[in-house]
Amino acid sequence: MTRAAKLGPVAAIVGFLAFVEFTSGIIQGYYTPLLTDIARHLGVHDADVNWLEGSQLMLSALVVPAFAKLGDMVGHKRMLVWSTAITAVASTALAFTDQFWVFLIAWALQGFYVVWLPLEIALVWSRSRSADRPAAMTRRAAGLLVAALELGAIAGALSAGALAEALPMRVLLLVPAVAVIACFFVILFGVKESPDLTGGTLDTGGLVLISLALIALTGGLSFMRLNGPGDLLSWSLVALGLLLVVPFVRYELRHPDPLIDVRMFRSPALWPVFLTAGLFGVSVLGAQAPLSTFARTDAATYGYGLGATSFQTSLLIGSYVLSLVVGAMLFPFVTRWVSPRVALIGASSLVSLGYLLFLPFHDSYWQALTNMIIAGIGSGALVAALPAAAAAAAPAQQTGVATGLTNSVKTVGGAIASCVFGIALLGAAGEAATGTAGSFAGYVTVWLVCGLTAAAAAVVLAFVPKLAFSDTPEVEAAAVR
């Protein structure tokens, strides 16, 4: 094809959905610079902030399967409205409590925003299905949405930094709530519902089984990160979570309208996407904190690290986020010259290259910046492309479920990586005992694991059928090289 596919029937809603993702980015970027201040406001130790991350991670793993399925059944817009309403109430509650347990509950409930992107991609796909090139339209829309997400994250972080000294904590915490409330009305009045809904009743039995499995798995990983790899309770919970997958799969195979059609994992186009999402979660969700702490570590004291200031580290992270925007925007244009499958392999390879380059090149700020930009371009493409690819390859009645699964599996991959990296950075006994820095061997582990998992994803994607995720071969064959 000589020109980009137009957004056609989805153009009217993409702008509204981009605002939703911009708001999601604000939530994800705004609180990070304030975590120490939040801990002081609540009167808790800095280490207790880990419970905020763990609770939201656990809830996000639970809500995506249910809301994705309900989106296919009763409407993707309807579930967007409900999830945004819950997020708005939770975000507002954060500003009106100084009790840690209340803040923790509200913080967890705020995690409902994680269902927005999967529901949006499913909504875009359902509205573009009648067009000439629905897969190309969905890829382009996904790139715009992820770009809006990352720009929102930058805006959130910068806003928090600018307002932190000027506003009292209660007012400071209200800023994201105002954005989410505005987002609620944007969805309510600006977004049209999906045209084709499956109806039916929710598979509550499957929901209970998968919820118990995810609670046990993510809970066990959280406890292991806090208590160390020798904690018997942590391993028991992880084992229980894995074992509960077996009755869940058997139950879903017998159910006439399952919560998750596990047969999708047999699809030659879908199982590599789901596995790639899990492998990708290792780096995109698990590696950012270690990269930040490595940048701040003083090489003169510990023999490694960049010794960067807070401002230099923020520039490093900001450059990485901007590279995500570039990757998300480039992906739909690249697929004009190569098949989506080849573009996905290329994106995974960039992530692998970026992290593996840290092994020989980690001594200077510019080396780290270059590595992160390379990994960021590939990561941005994958964030946009994976849910779009799942939507294109899934059965029509399972679009929301398929896009949601890419998010859920990515979250599980990130939870596992967060646990492994947290333990690795503790290092061998005695290493870094004179300070608070993580061990150098731990950082090497982070880079190596991220690089190898991304390389494994590239290999897995090679098993995808050549024209998967494309529109009809007659339409897109000319674009394939």
pLDDT average per 10 residues of sequence, the chain (481 residues): 50 86 92 80 71 77 86 91 96 92 92 92 82 78 90 88 84 94 94 79 89 88 81 92 94 89 87 93 84 80 80 81 91 86 94 96 92 94 89 81 88 84 65 53 91 96 76 41 35
Q: What is the CATH number of domain 261-480?
A: 1.20.1250.20
Cα 64 from Cα 404, distance rounded (Å)? 6
Neighbouring C-beta atoms of residue 384, cutoff 10 Å: 32
- How confident is the model at residue 470, as a pLDDT? 64
CATH of 7-199, one of 1.20.1250.20, 3.40.50.300, 3.10.129.10, 1.10.3720.10: 1.20.1250.20
Where helices occur in 31-164 by DSSP H, the ranges are 35-42, 49-74, 76-94, 100-110, 116-128, 134-163
pTM score, two decimals? 0.83
- How confident is the model at residue 10, as a pLDDT? 65
Q: 298 with 305: CB under 8 angstroms?
A: yes
Place of tokens 């009763």: 74
